[in-house]
């Protein structure tokens, strides 16, 4: 088994196989055991910072297993270096993430259920279940005893016209099977009345769209001399940046050990950046819709749902792909080819100035950014996670939301105040998407502080005689409770993470500014069950002292939990966060009021945030970029003197 090139590289296929074998050899796996996840147990920070000067770092694996026979969850730590079991812990009363195998088996169980077949025949006269499509949805928790004692799913069902039809446009609204995932049996079928199937198809596949637009000329992206990045295993170097790409079944794509080479000095910025949780609450209180509240990370696993990306479709240009090595729920190897895509792309003007006294000699530099991305399909929705690194030191995350709306059926002539009619008898409930990202900053070292920065006007008076004065006013956040806060448009609120122990060129602590973009507030009552489980939506910003056990904003096991875990629990300690190893957590939401134009497949929506150096560099770090050669016009004629591509 080859040794990884960096201690934070994700597990290889051989390492996953070895970890599974060690657990089996230790007698911890039975015929009813499922492997929920097998991922790298990241080594201590000190060991990573000492690499590669220190001795090689021990490779360990953290695995979550679940026994269907006893409804019991276990956590295991395995040493690949010493080839032995280090820890085996029973975690009582929790339901871990549902596995991809359970999704498949759940659909089969519903289709084979005599009770479901009978309801389908009674309501729709359909006896052939081969056209039925079943999407697994967690049962969540709504105060019922069974939700705290059984591993449950409440699937949504749809009826296709044929095997390639878009089944989502024909929801079987009145029938809701309930599945015990341990027994893999339908324990009952709940019926809420009869809704006729929507009459119109809503297909989007190329072979189902009869008339396609014309006049689209080829657009090729070429790099005849190759890309500007260098790759060694899962380590990447590009335009002064260096980092490690990570991946696991729960979080999906992660970035590690992100550093910037500043004039020959390797400066740390982020130790780890990851998506920790997301929740999609729906706003329809009706009996067939109110349970739709998906925790796509903790209930399904964003990494386990990752796509194998394809050149020319998901990524364009000169691409470098990275595979993800996981296992299925029985421990068999599972490799997601091309789970992560990396490429460069042009991003317009980075900076420009034209001296009016020298109009023929404008100075302009084009921006180039490095894109590291992964896309996951969680039943009907697609989520693309795009990390961008820029030549001027900026870091951006953009989440791209697309896929198919989760739809409901209306009776002829009906409308709903809780959703938009998008086709005859078909509506899309209003809903929100909330994401939480964990940013473990290490700005020029581990000990950092966080300031909240508000811009406010001075009161008119002797010091403000013209009434024009306003200033950015920072507030040092001393404890966790003080740090819990919201965006504030009235004061253009941002946050600044600094290292108080390292001074920049003008004597101020070096720092990075956190700039929020589009966001939302949760619209459901704080007493809604999903909000009790997703306490991370209560604030946009949280700051905690680093604790390797605090990784997920809604806690380790949000599936069917009763809530109160994660950030809401940890920050009640009100620990100090000044000049220490801090973690910055950001919750950002997209409120989706669906439109007919979101049907049958949704154009991409965008949401995210930006990190900008703020006193980290002595000057514009992209000031050293060379100018690009001027090109000829597409017609073959030379460009006018002084012209340049913008």
Per-residue confidence (pLDDT) for residue 358, from 0 to 100: 87
Of the pLDDT bands very low, low, confident and very high (cuts 50, 70, 90), residue 633 is: low
Q: Considering the chain, what is the average pLDDT of its residues?
A: 95
- Span 480-539, pLDDT tens digits: 999 999 999 999 999 999 999 999 989 999 999 999 999 999 999 999 999 999 999 999
Q: Among 377, 380, 375, 413, which residue's Cα sits nearest to residue 292?
A: 380
CA distance 34 to 64: 9
Q: Are 141 and 533 in contact (CB under 8 A)?
A: yes
- pLDDT tops 80 at residue 642: no
Q: Among 425, 418, 509, which residue's Cα sits nearest to residue 169?
A: 425
Q: Which residue has the higher pLDDT, 55 or 400?
A: 400
DSSP-assigned states of every residue in 433-459: EEEEEEEEE-TTSSEEEEEEEEEEEPP
Please compute the mean of the pLDDT values over residues 308-336 and round it to a whole number: 92
- Span 566-596, pLDDT tens digits: 999 999 999 999 999 999 999 999 999 999 9
In sequence order, what are the residues at sequence separation of 6 or more whose Cβ sits closer than 8 angstroms to the Cβ of residue 624? none
Per-residue confidence (pLDDT) for residue 312, from 0 to 100: 77
CA distance 352 to 362: 7
Q: Would you list the domain boundaries of the chain? A: 13-91, 100-208, 230-282+293-405+430-448+478-613
- pLDDT tops 80 at residue 629: no
Same fold for the domain at 100-208 and the one at 230-282+293-405+430-448+478-613?
A: no
Please compute the mean of the pLDDT values over residues 239-253 and round it to a whole number: 98
Q: Is the peptide bond before 600 cis (omega within 30 degrees of 0)?
A: yes
Per-residue confidence (pLDDT) for residue 423, from 0 to 100: 97
- Span 29-42, pLDDT tens digits: 999 999 999 999 99
Dihedral pair phi/psi, residue 33, rounded to 5°: -85, 135
Pick the CATH number of 100-208 from 3.40.50.620, 3.90.380.10, 3.30.1360.30, 3.10.450.40: 3.10.450.40
Of the pLDDT bands very low, low, confident and very high (cuts 50, 70, 90), residue 365 is: very high
Please compute the mean of the pLDDT values over residues 418-432 and round it to a whole number: 97
Per-residue confidence (pLDDT) for residue 122, from 0 to 100: 97
Per-residue confidence (pLDDT) for residue 359, from 0 to 100: 81
Poorest-confidence range of 280-284, 350-354, 482-486? 350-354
Q: Are 574 and 481 in contact (CB under 8 A)?
A: yes
- pLDDT tops 70 at residue 639: no
Per-residue confidence (pLDDT) for residue 147, from 0 to 100: 96
HEC string of 464-495? ECCCCCEEEEEEECCEHHHHCECCCHHHCCEE
Per-residue confidence (pLDDT) for residue 632, from 0 to 100: 55
Per-residue confidence (pLDDT) for residue 355, from 0 to 100: 92
- pLDDT tops 70 at residue 343: yes
Residue in this structure with the two tokens 């005689």, named with its chain if needed = 465
* Fold of the domain built from segment(s) 13-91: Nuclear Transport Factor 2; Chain: A, (3.10.450)
- pLDDT tops 50 at residue 605: yes
Per-residue confidence (pLDDT) for residue 3, from 0 to 100: 75
Sign of the CA dihedral with 519 first, then 523, 526, and 529 last? negative
- pLDDT tops 90 at residue 644: no
- Span 138-189, pLDDT tens digits: 999 999 999 999 999 999 999 999 989 999 999 999 999 999 999 999 999 9
Show which residues are catalytic: 296, 381
In sequence order, what are the residues at sequence separation of 6 or more whose Cβ sits closer than 8 angstroms to the Cβ of residue 541? 452, 483, 484, 485, 486, 495, 584, 585, 586, 587
pTM: 0.96
Q: Tell me which CATH homologous superfamily contains domain 230-282+293-405+430-448+478-613.
A: Copper amine oxidase, catalytic domain (2.70.98.20)
Percent of the chain having pLDDT more than 70? Answer: 97
Cβ burial, residue 646 (10 Å; 0-12/13-18/19+): exposed
Percent of the chain having pLDDT more than 90? Answer: 91
- pLDDT tops 90 at residue 360: no
């Amino acid at each position: 088994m080859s040794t990884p090139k960096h201690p934070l590289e994700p597990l290889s296929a051989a390492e996953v196989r070895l970890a599974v074998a060690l657990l089996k050899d230790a007698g911890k796996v039975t015929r009813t055991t499922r492997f929920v996840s097998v991922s790298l147990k990241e080594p201590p920070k000190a060991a990573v910072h000492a690499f590669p000067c220190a001795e090689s770092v021990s490779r360990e694996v953290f695995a979550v297993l679940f026994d269907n026979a006893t409804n019991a969850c276990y956590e295991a730590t395995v040493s690949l270096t010493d080839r032995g079991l280090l820890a085996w812990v029973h975690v009582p009363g929790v339901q871990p993430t549902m596995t991809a195998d359970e999704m498949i088996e759940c659909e089969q169980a519903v289709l084979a259920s005599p009770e479901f077949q009978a309801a389908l025949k009674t309501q729709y006269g359909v006896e052939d279940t081969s056209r039925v499509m079943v999407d697994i949805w967690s049962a969540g928790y709504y105060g019922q005893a069974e939700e705290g004692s059984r591993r449950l799913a409440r699937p949504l069902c749809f009826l296709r016209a044929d095997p390639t039809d878009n089944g989502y446009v024909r929801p079987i609204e009145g029938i809701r099977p309930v599945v015990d995932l341990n027994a893999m049996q339908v324990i009952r079928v709940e019926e809420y009345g009869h809704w006729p199937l929507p009459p119109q198809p809503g297909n989007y596949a190329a072979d189902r769209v009869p008339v396609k637009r014309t006049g689209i000329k080829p657009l090729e992206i070429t790099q005849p001399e190759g890309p500007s990045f260098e790759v060694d295993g899962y380590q990447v170097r590009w335009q002064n940046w260096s980092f490690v790409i990570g991946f696991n079944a729960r979080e999906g794509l992660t970035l590690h050990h992100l550093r910037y080479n500043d004039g020959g000095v390797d400066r740390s910025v982020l130790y780890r950046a990851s998506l920790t949780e997301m929740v999609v609450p729906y706003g329809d209180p009706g009996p067939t819709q109110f349970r739709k509240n998906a925790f796509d990370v903790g209930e399904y696993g964003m990494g386990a749902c990752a796509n194998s990306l394809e050149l020319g479709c998901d990524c364009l240009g000169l691409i470098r792909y990275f595979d993800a090595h996981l296992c299925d729920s029985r421990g068999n190897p599972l490799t997601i080819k091309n789970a992560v895509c990396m490429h460069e792309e042009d991003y317009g003007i980075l900076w420009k100035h034209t001296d009016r006294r020298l109009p023929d000699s404008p100075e302009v530099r084009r921006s180039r950014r490095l894109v590291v991305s992964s896309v996951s399909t969680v039943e009907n929705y697609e989520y693309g996670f795009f990390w961008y690194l820029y030549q001027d030191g900026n870091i951006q995350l953009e989440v791209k939301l697309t896929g198919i709306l989760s739809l409901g059926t209306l009776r002829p002539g009906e409308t709903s105040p809780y959703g938009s009619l998008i086709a005859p008898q078909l509506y899309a409930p209003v809903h929100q998407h909330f994401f939480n990202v964990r940013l473990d900053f290490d700005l020029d070292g581990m000990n950092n502080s966080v300031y909240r920065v508000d811009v406010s006007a001075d009161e008119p008076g002797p010091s403000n005689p013209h009434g024009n004065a306003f200033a950015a006013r920072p507030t040092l956040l001393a404890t966790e409770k003080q740090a819990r806060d919201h965006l504030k448009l009235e004061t253009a609120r941002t946050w600044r993470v600094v290292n108080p122990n390292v001074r920049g060129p003008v004597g101020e602590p070096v720092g990075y500014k956190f700039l929020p973009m589009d966001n939302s507030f949760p619209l459901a009552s704080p007493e809604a069950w999903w909000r009790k489980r997703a306490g991370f939506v209560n604030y946009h910003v949280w700051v905690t002292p680093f604790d390797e056990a605090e990784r997920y904003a809604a806690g380790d096991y949000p599936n069917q939990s009763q809530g109160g875990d994660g950030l809401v629990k940890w920050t009640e300690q009100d620990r100090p966060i000044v000049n220490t190893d801090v973690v910055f957590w950001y919750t950002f939401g997209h409120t989706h009021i669906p439109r007919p134009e979101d049907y049958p497949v949704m154009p991409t929506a965008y949401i995210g945030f930006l990190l900008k150096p703020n006193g980290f560099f002595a000057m514009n770090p992209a000031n050293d970029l060379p100018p690009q050669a001027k090109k000829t016009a597409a017609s073959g004629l030379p460009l006018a003197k002084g012209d340049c591509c913008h």
